[in-house]
Amino acid sequence: MSPRQDHRERTLVAPAICAGVGVHTGQRVRLAIRPAPTGTGIVFVRTDITDRDNRIVVSGDVVVDARLNTMIENGAGVRLSTIEHLMAAFCALGISNAVVEVDGPELPILDGSALPFVQLLDRAGFRRQEAPVRFIEILQPVHVTDGDKHAALYPCDRYEMRFEIDFATSVIGNQVIDFVVDEPTFRSDIMAARTFGFAHEVEALRRAGLARGGSLENAVVIDGDEILNPGGLRMEREFVRHKALDAIGDLYVLGAPLLGRYEGYKAGHAVNNQLVRALLAAPGAWREVVLEPELARVG
C-alpha cells in the first residue's frame, strides 16, 4: 500500500467489540478485537474451544479452504471461516498487531462489506508502535491460473491492484477497477462494497451447509437480470469493488502489506490463496523490506 509516512506498526488503543451472524453457519457470534504488542501479528482465538490450542496465528499457509470464503486452521484442527473482510480492514488501516477473539466457527458477516469493521476499529482508536512496518516487496512476477481465472503479482514501488470480472447477467457484465491500495482509497472506494450472490445458487449452497446466514441485509442478491435488494447498489461497479476488497484481505494473510501490483481476472478466494502459496514457494520472487520515511518520499 502507499506506505504511511512514519512506517511504524499499529495496533488498537482499546478493544473493539461487536456481535453478528455468520453468513455460512447462520450462527450468532461475538467478536472482540484487542490491542497486541509489536511482533504479535494477527492472531485469531476461538474462545468457545477450551480443550486444545485455540489460537490461529495468521500466515500464508494456514488457509485450508477457500471455496466461498477464506478459512484458516491451526495444527490442533481448530478452524475459523470468513476472515477476509476484517483482514482487508486491517490491511488498509495499517493494523499490524491484533488479537481477535471469536466465540464461534465464523466471523460475523455484518452488512457484507468491510465498512462496519472499519467503523468498529475507528471507534477503538489506533496506537502507533515503535517497530518498523515490514513490507513484502515483489521482485519477480508470480502467476497462477485456474481455468479462465487468473491472478498475478508484479514488481511495483507501491501497492496497486487491478481487478476484472465478467458475468453473463447484464446487472454485472464486465467490470474493471484499477487503484492504489491505500487507506484513503479504501475508505472512499472499496470498504462499503458488499458481497454478492445469485438467487439460484442459494438453495444449493444451503444444502451444502453454506449461506445459512445470508440475506438481503448482508449481501447483494441477483436473480436473472434483477437485483433483489430494495435499495439497489451502494455504488457504481460495487461487484468488482467487493472482489478487490476480498483480494486485499486474502493477500494480507501474508502478514505484511505489499510493495507490488496485483492483477486478478475472475479470481476468487481460492485463486488468491494459490497466488499466496505460489509466492511463498518462490523465495527469489520477493523479500521483506523496511522503509525509512526519507526513502519513501523519494519519487
Binning the chain into helix, strand and coil, the percentages to the nearest 5 are 25, 35, 40
Q: Alpha carbon 80 to chain centroid distance?
A: 14
Q: What is the pLDDT of residue 203?
A: 65
Distance separating alpha carbons of residues 119 and 191, to the nearest angstrom: 10
Q: What is the pLDDT of residue 82?
A: 93
Q: What is the pLDDT of residue 66?
A: 77
Q: What is the pLDDT of residue 213?
A: 63
Q: What is the pLDDT of residue 205?
A: 62
Q: What is the pLDDT of residue 295?
A: 44
Q: Which residues of the chain have pLDDT under 50?
A: 1-3, 294-299
Q: What is the pLDDT of residue 26?
A: 81
Q: What is the pLDDT of residue 298?
A: 40
Q: What is the pLDDT of residue 206?
A: 61
Distance separating alpha carbons of residues 46 and 60, to the nearest angstrom: 19
Q: What is the pLDDT of residue 293?
A: 60
Q: What is the pLDDT of residue 40?
A: 97
Q: What is the pLDDT of residue 199?
A: 81
Q: What is the pLDDT of residue 53?
A: 98
Q: Tell me whether residue 269 is one of the annotated catalytic residues.
A: yes
Q: What is the pLDDT of residue 68?
A: 74
Q: Which residues of 195-220 are buried (b: 16+ CB within 10 A; e: fewer)?
A: bbbbeeebeebeeeebbebbeeebbb
Q: Which residue has the cell 449481501?
A: 219
Distance separating alpha carbons of residues 81 and 110, to the nearest angstrom: 14
Q: Record the pTM.
A: 0.93
Give pLDDT tens digits for 180-230: 999 999 999 999 999 998 887 766 666 666 555 667 788 898 988 999 889
Q: What is the pLDDT of residue 208?
A: 64
Of the residues 7, 24, 242, 269, only one is catalytic, namely 269
